[in-house]
Structures are given as C-alpha cells and as structure tokens.
Structure 1
C-alpha cells in the first residue's frame, strides 16, 4: 500500500510535533483526569470550575464531564474573542449565486447573535426550551444556533432538504416550542419551500407558539398572526447586548437526529462542556489550524459535521469559517475550486461523495483555479476509496496538501480517528490513528474484545 508523507518543511510548521502529540496521547490514556483538566482550562473559558473532571459508568451508559462547572458555548465562540479579534472575519458567507457573498466580523457576529437572542427571549423562549432550526445555509442559521446557546435554549437543527413528515417528527419528538426558518431556500438555482413545509408540519404540532422567518427571497410567505415573526422587520428593535446564561457543563446544548436510515430517527443529545472541548481541540490539532487560517467545511449545519466543524469548533478557536449555501456543480462543476481561490481557503473539508462526483468530470474543471492557497485537505462522512483519495491529493491538492481522513459519528460529536495534517503519514483509504483520549477496540457480538494477530 502506498504511503504519503508530510514534508519536513511542513512538519516544522506543525502547531504540534509528532513527538509532543504522541506524548499527549499517552497522557490522555494513562492519566485522563489530569490531562482533560489541563486541556479544559487551556481551551475554554469557564465561569466557575468543576468538582470532578469525569464520572462514568459504562454498565449504565452514564457519563458526565466537568460536572458542576459553568460555561456558555456562545461566550466561548463569540464574546471571548472580542478583546483581541473584534475586527477579524468570523464568517465568510458564499451564497448560491457566486455574486452573493459577505464577511461577518466577530464584532458583527456578537451584535447579530445578541439581537437574535433577545428576539427569542421576547417570545418567552428560555433555558431548557427546545427550538427547531430549519434553515438554508445562510449566516442567520449560525446566528440562530448561537443565540439559542446564549440563552440556554436547546436547538434541534433539521436539514433543510428534509420532508414535511421528517420535520414534523423531529419537532414532536423533542417537543419544540418554536421554529426558526426562512421563507425559501436557494440551492443550485432552485427554490426550496421551507416556510410552506413548516406551515404543513405545524398542523400536527400544537405546542409550537412561535415561527421566526428570515426572508431569503422576495416571496411573501409570512402569515399575519400571533405565531409568525418577520425576522428582518423586527430584529433591529432588539438590543445588541444580551447576557450569556451560565450553563452547567452537563446542560444540553443541542439535539440532533440521525438520518433514520435504520428505522425511526434517533435524537442524540450533546451537552455543553465536553462537547465544546472535543470540538475545539480536534478542529485545532487535526487541521493544523493557524491564527490566520481560512477554513471551509462544505457540510450543512443540518448534520453533525456542520455543528462541530462549521460553527462550534472553528468559532471556539477564533477561526474564520466559510458557510456555503450552494452545491458543488452550480453554476458549473468548477464551483468548489473557484470558491477556494476567491476566498483564499487554506483548509478544505468535504465528503467523498462530492469528491467522486467531481472526479467524474475529469480535470478540466480544475483549470479555472490555481488552488495555491490550499494547505490541508480533509474528508468526512464515509470511507474514501483509494482512487478518489489519490485524485483529491494529486489533482486538487497538487501533491502538496496532506489529507486527513476523519472517522466519527453523530453520537461522538467530534472526530475520533484521524491523522494530523501537521505530520501524519497517510495511506489512501485508511483513517489513521485515534485522537486524544480515544482507545479503540474491536468487540464481537457478545461484547468481548477481539485481539488482533
């Protein structure tokens, strides 16, 4: 099997050396309490400390991290960066139309999130309430997630491509009291009837008292009643300051449903402290994140990849994250590559399905871009076959960008197995080694560990 190595020059530019990471890994396995205590203190800002680092009972499945410690995810993603990074770009938004884009600084992000949080509070949404977010990939989707986190409401993001029935099931299962949506979405030049879908779903959801609608298009779909709220009409009426709710580390941050491919969708609940630490630390180490990195994960916030590696991980690290509304083939199959050049993207994280679809068009669509800004490539969502891996490495990255092939799932919240872009050898089709704190094992149907030869 072929092995691709990171150049010595790149290794010298790694944010952590292989030797130091291996030492940290061993510490995370052998002395997890002291290791995670230190990482939690270094990585996140806390309002008050915890009693015990971790409490776990694998027989009952009960696990708690930093119990009684207090923090707020929005504070860690926005407020704490204002002193040193207020004018730094937090979000680059690239619309479905290549001419439609904007940059949002951390200062602007703070204003928008606070106003959104105050809007939610005006609708009597409070700590512990569940809020469904059914949105296109526009900045307001991130504002909505962070606004919920700011006031302690639990968001449940539903992918904007899901059906009325799927939306209804998720609203009912988590007993949401509010829905945040757009009048319509735009993907590949086509309109997505989000508000109409919400209206149909809510016929069977009697506990929803508020529907906040962001007008993405000119279609007038907001009803004149006590339920619908016109976001753009009302948002400037709200103060640009909103205090962060102090959350226990084990307070819920969000609910996210698996796709339901094996039956009824299953809601996964992630709490605040442990999740945010995993998101921030894995994003920083695995992608070899630098202070000036421009980072683009092509996922949708309707999936866990979008939660962890578009919103919470990058913003916790004060990184610039790109949010993309469109699809890789609109207006042509060069779209991804042209966006990379346009915004000088350094780190690019996408799915093998997209890579294979673009590879099928050959190399000609690559000719309109240089992609010289790229430093790291990543894959997520499924195994990548060696043929697609090599095309991605040689043609997209021009043989100079390490690929991190990441393995994890909705239930884990962040990456569990992956190489590190700064130094790891790469084998096409192989994910790599376990991340900090992960001690993987294979078990048989009875739960007995299988020993390798």
Structure 2
C-alpha cells in the first residue's frame, strides 16, 4: 500500500531498496536519499534504534537536504528514538508522522497531520477524520483518565476489511468477538489529557504483573534512555508468584561491555524511571536482537527463550538465524 499502489495512485515516485541497511556501509540509506533526492522517508522504530547504535557520523556524511517529511510505522516508537530521528535525520526541519494502522485497516488510522497537529515524541497523536477509536477494558467499558486498555474502533471506515479470504468464521472470531459491536485491533493503548493516543504494543506485549498492566514499550523506552544502551526488547516471562515477570534483552553501545554491575545499574535505572513494579527480573545482554527483514523485533521468539521453551511457529521472515541460535545456545 505505501510502497507501490498508494504511491502510484497519487502520481508519486517510489524508491525501493532490497538489502541490508549497513551494507556496504552503515550509511547505505543516507547515500540513497541523497542520490535519488528522496523527499519522504518512512521506516520502523527498530531500524531507527539501529541507526542510533551505529552513530551520528554516518548520516552526517550526507546532506539529506531533500527530506521534507519523516514517517515511522510498525510498532510504538520510544521518545528517545523519535527525538534522534527528528534531530539527526530531519535536522529539526522535518515533521515526524508517527502512524498507527494495520494491514487489515487498509489505511492509516491514527497520525498527526504534518504542520497542523502538534506532535509529542512517542505518540501517534489523534485519529484521522472519520476514525472513531476507543480504549476499553476486558468487558468493553470505556477506560478514562489515561489508564491503559484495549484499542478498538467503534465506527466503520472506508477501507475496512470485509473478511479473511475463505474463512469468515476466523474473521468474526479474530476481530469481532472480543468486544461487542467493535473492531478489536489487538493493540493496547492509552489516551492522555490532551486526547493524544499512545500505543502500548500488541496485547501480547502488555505484561500483567501481580494485577498491574504494563506495556513492554514503556520498559524498553526506560532502558534505551540509559546512555549505555543502544536497543532493548522486553517480554513477559511466566512467574509462579506474580503471574508474569519482566525479561529484558539488551544491546549495548559499542564502547561498553556486559557485566553484573551494569545489569544492576540498568535495573535501578528502570525503577527510577517507572517504579519498582517495572524492574526486570531477567536480563540478558546480546549483540543483536532477532528481527524480521523489515526490521521488526520478533518478540514471540524472545518470549519462548525467556520462558525456556524451544522457539515455536514460523521463522521464515527472520533476517539472521544466527542471532536466534546464539540466544538459544546461552540457554542450554
């Protein structure tokens, strides 16, 4: 949609690149931007955090003056990555459009209108005209006062899906059975006092610790805000007492080495940023995180590793199987 037919339908030109963003060097994307005078750059937060780890020297080798708009998609973006993206890539001149949507919605649903809606780092801001989202609890009642809940859509929209091909029963069960009269997105979110939406991640990525619901993105953002951390992924881990506990997989900036002292330092940092409830009980340092070829962290695989299970399900989209093998090897 945003690579081919959406662009062509609007008479625009698209630049597609298939390959690693760090080959033959870590400035591959920025070289392409300057070469083809790209005006709009759209990528995933995971990729932005990788750029941060590689350092500012690579984008600073290039002008990037053709860019006028930056977009982010695929998962919630932590405020630190948003600010880096705006400052280093956009040179503080490009609005950032943090978009929330799904393949199933057929179009962007939550996003700022560039230049018209004030942005907040980490928020998808407001619904587009005609889109009616709501945050509800497990019983379908609206949640207020900034509390987290399930993101649903209460009214139809022009590009909504009509079925899953050949499987109407699954379509009804997946999207329409959880909350009566609403489309169930499968994402957790909250709304702040200004009516801005903050996506917490997939419902599977919301951890229930002794009855307290905590979005994994909140903990990841706290970890990444530490100057020694380049990237982090957080998942829930079964816990006999609390129901679930927090497991963190952490990639450090290149000049730092893993140690028990650093692990305690990071745990204390999370407590300081969020509170004791968010302290990771399990932390593993890793050189890289398992990601799809499009840059999304495969948290499903990390949940299996944290729980001591063999990785289950499809791994064909995994970019580098050696990362998963290394993480498994440390478990054995």
Name whichever structure is richer in helix by fraction. Answer: 1
TM-score scaled by length of structure 2: 0.43
TM-score scaled by length of structure 1: 0.31
Highest relative contact order (Cα 8 Å, sep 6+), 1 or 2? Answer: 1
Larger radius of gyration: 1
